Amino acid sequence: LNYMANFLDMYVGFMFEFTQQKTQFALDVKYACQEILNRYYSIQVAQRKLPQDPWWIDKISSIDQNCDQFLDGKVDIQWDRDFSDHS
């Protein structure tokens, strides 16, 4: 019985640490997305150019939104694959 209690304590500790790492990773990715978007739009404004956004801006925005959903505890994250038939 003591063995099971120790095992459960270790498991809970591991899962907490794993969740903390995933949360930190999502925050880091979200920050990187915001930096990329800010940099892109800052350059466009500075050059007084506002052309149609390139395709990768939508991808960066989608990653940012998925990070928000993950951080809000939502598990139904969507990702569109452009270059593959796999789902």
pLDDT tens-digit profile, the chain (87 residues): 566 666 666 666 666 676 788 888 888 999 999 999 999 899 888 888 878 888 888 888 988 888 888 888 887 776 666 655 544
Question: What local confidence, expressed as pLDDT, does residue 87 receive?
Answer: 46
Q: How far is CA 33 from CA 49, 56, 74, 81, in A?
A: 21, 11, 19, 18
Question: What local confidence, expressed as pLDDT, does residue 35 receive?
Answer: 92
Question: What local confidence, expressed as pLDDT, does residue 17 receive?
Answer: 72
Question: What local confidence, expressed as pLDDT, does residue 63 receive?
Answer: 87
